Chains A and B, each alone.
Chain A
Amino acid sequence: MEQVLVTKGLERTYETDGIAVAALRGIDLVVAEGEFVSVMGPSGCGKSTLLHLLGGLDRPSAGEVHLGGRRVDELSETAWALLRRRQVGFVFQFFNLIANLTIADNIELPGLLAGLSPREARSRRRELLDDLGIGELAASVPSRVSGGQQQRVAIARALINRPALLLADEPTGNLDSQSSREVLGLLRRHHERGQTIVLVTHDARVASAADRVIHMRDGLISEETLLSGDRDPGALATQMLRLEV
């Protein structure tokens, strides 16, 4: 399988009041095309920082990031923006939909930025919303729909350009259990269609939706677990929690 994402010795150090705090201390990671990888760990272990570096939202202090075989950690901000349009989709814990755009506009925006014609963007948006079961919400504004629906819209927005990589940062962290199950089911469905996903979570149940779980602690990868086809969430979660302890 082709490697979609490779990091080598990735480090990120923050300076606060002259004190250096290492958030990442050398991450080596390879994600193959079509793979679903969960990054799991306690709060402050550096998992969100890792996701931001993978998507070009932040710059590493050291190390390399390769996306689709191309080194991208040295790209300019503009080059990263252009790259993200086509190759990287983001989903956040707090949905982060634009409040004053309709749901349809929120989804179509990245498509239009990537150069889709308005007709094509509209067609893809309809397809995605229907697939997500919220086609009737297109004209609503985000504040009028539930958290679960907002997260589905966020996923649609992330997928409209059919990116090579979908990065999800605690996508169920702000949802009730029913909505969390629906969102995870959605991500799995897209993964089964070939979507490469890297998901960050501190929830073992959520992490168990992936093919592989990377455990982080203190800015380092502490453990990797390959999950079998057995998808009993309870058993997997127990396995995850054992590893965490």
Chain B
Amino acid sequence: MARLLVRTALANLRSRPLQTVLVGLILAAASATLALAVSLRAGAADPYEKIARATNAADVHVVGRGDLAALAHAPGVKAAEGPFRLLGVRIRSRPTNYDIVVEGVGARPPRIDRPKLTDGRWLSGAPGELVLDRPTARRRGIHVGQRLAVLPRDPRTALTVVGIAVSAGRGPSWVSAGTLAALPPGNDPMGRVLELQLTDRGASRAFVDDVRRRYAPEQLNAYDWRDDRQEVTDRTSTSSVVLGSASLAALLAVGFIIANAIGGRILASRRDIGLLKAAGFTPGGVTALFVVENLVVAGAASLVGTAVGIALSPLLLEPTASLMGTATPSGLRAVTVAAGVLGVVAVVCLFTALPAWRAGRLGVLEAIALGRTSVSTKPSRAARVAVALRLPPAVVLGVKDAFANRSRAAMTIASLALTMGTVIMALGTEATYRRVIQDSSLRAKPYELMVDANDVSPAHTRSLLGAQSAKVAGTATVVGTTASVPGSPVDVWARALGGDYQRRPYAVRDGRMIAGPGEAIVGRGLLDALGLHVGDRLPLEADGARLDLRIVGRYVEPDNDGRTAIFDRRSVPPAALARFGPVQYELQLHRRSDAHAVQAALVRSSGGQMDVEVTEDGVRQERSDLRPVVYGTDAVLLAIGLVNLLTTLLLGIRERVRDFAIFKVVGLTPRQVLAAVTSGGTLLASIAVVAGIATGLPIFHALVTVTNPSDGPDLVTAPTWWWVVLMFPATLVFTTLASVLPARRAAAIRPAEALRYE
């Protein structure tokens, strides 16, 4: 029996070569997409765990100048590595200098918190070599082989990047102990770091608390893997949600595509099923035959598709890993292959067995009759509208035909709507970034440039800033510190403003901007954490001072989960204010001034001493980080949507060859047949665009709110209306492209042949 089934299945496949190839192509595309989606999901999920596994991460890091060696043998410690010297190093760069932390290690990478190289090689022991942490390399655009000049400038202390690596810790870079010793002493000595693994990882918090209790913070400090995880999660939360939802959308689309192709194929074969039963096949035999037939195609196609998916996966995995700061995972993994092959085979089995079983239960005559009438005979509302609009008969026919098989039409619309929804989300992301770039107050940075004076004296700084006065409209000063709320564990990032801060207010959404001392504006996160409202009092303790502030407004704050407070510096006693961090200068430029030109001028005039950041650069960087993933996913989903549309149209035509022959008999020209098929496809796609817009906008809103609870609701921006409108003609173009092949096949149907075998 098994042999008979296989022989009959192969004969069936050979008798319809084009259809077999087409279904094979669709399944291969589905497998490739599935492999890509699984890779993407694996790449996006739990980035900390991935880094931790790859680097044998430490459970606890202890940093400081105290006696670290004693802690290496503390109770509960399973393994220890180090201590290694740490040094803060200033790197000379354009347009502005930046700091990195280097760890002096041996010639072999440490066993605990072992950096995972993503590019280049490990330190050879030669002086001046640096393995740079990947997030810094990415942010600064640094590649292997590049030489970095260390400040204060000394040609002997240039560092050459020989490798780029990721680690689970707070991202130091690595040099040999000898290289570190040769670095200029003027740099910031941060002490040493000891990496510990505990016998019970869960006890790490208690270990950290114990260290903090026994040692003063300036002597020793400790933090554990949960802090690392929090940092990685904070850094990657937006990307994780974007990637996770993109891969989920791709998985859904694969389900649609298989259900459409295979389910449609069985529906179109009902007549054959009737004939097989007439020839003696039992209902179970019919089901088995179709399952075998489709499995042969699915098996071959899924192998090819998975191989293609794995080959393509670096295109998505590399930017993903780069975005997450993780090592690039290999696309060729058991889970990817299993998903690509077994996933597709399982879904094919399901979508073959169900309709084949149902069809196998039909009576022979009924099945033969249904073979020609598996299309819906209910009048289509869309067709009635098309008639009422006096559209040409060919278009009306196409509109009617689009819903000839309603379940398939629904699946096609759902698949395309999914694509359109993601396109809408991509447009929304663009619009949100554009708005934030145009209005920097939405990033809680109502200024164009932020200047860190570093070692430049206040008087000299004012003179340097004064030299740019023609371009600068106003200058505010800010000092920041971590404050606490009496009786609450909540830490608040407190900022005291001075100077022209009223000129360009923060983006206050509830209440108003501060008008003077004693008033504060706060982020949403702080209000939520403390259960406060605008108008309430906010007592703070900051650097030994008690501040009694009144909340007069809530502003949009993306950082520190919105647990922030901004107030006038005159609210703080001068002695306490001096203990706040160093003064930074917020420069508000005139409308036509070029921020990068002012940045370059300030860095130049300060001899490279000042750090000057252009506010919008960070947002632009974030946008360009996300773009490849968002658009790559859109492209994949768009391809799936178009393949689904193509499948629907082709299956519809195969199922209704006779009807198309009759259309031609009654006088439809080949061009009108083309128009009919294309207009049907266009209608499905147009409905999908409307559905995609209607669902994509609220989902985008929800996603932004979930990923950025503190500022998301205030930032989320709907796509520009004309981009949305443009989706209709764009859809028309894509639909026409997808319809060309099926339409040509329909137009090429020869009535004499189609109607001959009745």
A157–B667 alpha-carbon span in the complex (Å): 12
On whether A81 and B664 interact (CB within 8 A), knowing A98-B659, A100-B376, A113-B393, the answer reads yes
User: In the assembly, what is the distance between CA of A78 and CA of B137, in Å?
Assistant: 64
CB distance from A124 to the nearest CB of B (A): 14
Q: Which residue of A lies closest to B392 (CB)?
A: A112
Partner of B667, one of A81, A96, A101, A141: A81
Least CB distance, B556 to chain A, in whole angstroms: 55
Q: Is the CB of B377 within 8 A of A141?
A: yes
- Asked if residues B666 and A100 are in contact (CB atoms below 8 Å), the reply is no
Using CB atoms, name the residue of chain B closest to A77: B670
A57:B393 contact, CB within 8 angstroms? no
- In the bound assembly, the distance between CA atoms of A157 and B404 in angstroms comes to 21
Check A99 for interface membership: any CB of B closer than 8 A: yes
Given A58-B752, A92-B758, A118-B390, are A113 and B666 also a contact pair (CB < 8 Å)? yes
User: A98 touches which one: B390, B662, B667, B755 (CB < 8 A)?
Assistant: B662
B92 close to A (CB within 8 Å): no
* A134 close to chain B: CB less than 8 A: no
**In the complex the two chains form, what is the Cα distance from A96 to B665 in whole Å?**
10
Taking the closest CB of chain B, its distance from the CB of A163, in whole angstroms, is 10
With a cutoff of 8 Å between Cβ atoms, the chain A residues found around residue B375 in the complex are 99-100
Q: A57-B752, A96-B662 are in contact. Are A102 and B379 (CB under 8 A)?
A: yes
Interface string of A71-103 (1 = CB under 8 A from B): 000000110011011000010111011111110
Considering only residues 714-758 of chain B, those with a C-beta below 8 Å from chain A are: 750-752, 755-756, 758
Instruction: Give the residues in chain A near B377, CB-CB below 8 Å.
Output: 99-100, 141-144
A77 to B672, CA, bound (A): 12
Known: A100-B377, A118-B390. A81 touches B758 (CB 8 A): no
- Interface contact A100-B667, CB-CB below 8 Å: no
Question: Which of B372, B666, B669 touches A157 (beta carbons < 8 Å)?
Answer: B666
Contact with B669, one of A78, A90, A141 (Cβ below 8 angstroms) = A78
* Residues of chain A within 8 A of B376, CB atoms compared: 100
Contact A82–B752 (Cβ < 8 Å): no
User: What are the interface flags for A186-222 relative to B under an 8 Å C-beta threshold, 1 for contact and 0 otherwise?
Assistant: 0000000000000000000000000000000000000
- Mark A88-129 against chain B: 1 for CB-CB distance below 8 A, else 0: 001011101111111000000110111000100000000000
Residues from chain A with Cβ under 8 Å of B404 in the complex: 100
CA distance A112 to B750 in the complex (A): 22
Residues on B with C-beta less than 8 A from A171 are none
User: Is B229 close to A, CB under 8 A?
Assistant: no
- Kindly state whether residue B579 has any CB partner on chain A within 8 Å: no
Indicate whether B658 reaches chain A with its CB closer than 8 angstroms.
Answer: yes
* A78 CB contacts on chain B under 8 angstroms: 669-671
Say whether A66 faces chain B, with CB atoms less than 8 Å apart.
no
A57 touches B665 (CB 8 A): yes
Q: Check A81/B659 contact, CB under 8 A, given A96-B755, A143-B373.
A: no
Are the CB atoms of B400 and A81 closer together than 8 Å? Answer: no
Q: Mark B386-401, 1 if CB is under 8 A from A, else 0.
A: 0100100110010011
Instruction: State how many angstroms separate the Cβ of A29 from the closest Cβ of chain B.
Output: 18
A101 touches B665 (CB 8 A): no
**How far apart sit A100 and B401, CA to CA, in the bound complex (Å)?**
8
Query: Is A34 close to B, CB under 8 A?
Result: no
Contact across chains for B658 and A82 when beta carbons are under 8 A apart: no
> Which of chain A's residues have a CB closer than 8 A to the CB of B393?
109, 112-113
Least CB distance, A59 to chain B, in whole angstroms: 9
Any A CB within 8 A of the CB of B668: yes
A94 engages B758 (CB within 8 Å): yes
A114 to chain B, nearest CB (A): 6
**Which residues of chain B have C-beta atoms less than 8 A from A102's C-beta?**
379
On chain B, the residues within 8 Å of A109 by CB distance are: 393, 397, 666
A115 to chain B, nearest CB (A): 10
Closest to A108 in B: B393
Most A CB atoms within 10 A — which of B377, B401, B662, B667?
B667
Chain A residue nearest to B375 in the complex (CB): A100
Chain B: CB-nearest residue to A98 = B659
Q: Is A7 an interface residue (CB 8 A)?
A: no
Q: A98-B662, A99-B373 are in contact. Are A113 and B670 (CB under 8 A)?
A: no
Q: List 6 A-B contacts (CB under 8 A).
A: A55-B665, A100-B375, A100-B376, A100-B377, A102-B379, A113-B394
Chain B residues packing against A (C-beta within 8 Å) = 372-373, 375-377, 379-380, 387, 390, 393-394, 397, 400-401, 404, 658-659, 661-672, 750-752, 755-756, 758
Residues of chain A having any CB pair with chain B under 8 Å: 48-49, 52, 55, 57-58, 77-78, 81-82, 84-85, 90, 92-94, 96-102, 109-110, 112-114, 118, 141-144, 157
Known: A90-B666, A99-B375, A118-B390. 11 other contacts (CB 8 A): A57-B665, A57-B752, A57-B755, A58-B752, A78-B669, A81-B669, A85-B667, A96-B665, A98-B659, A98-B663, A100-B377
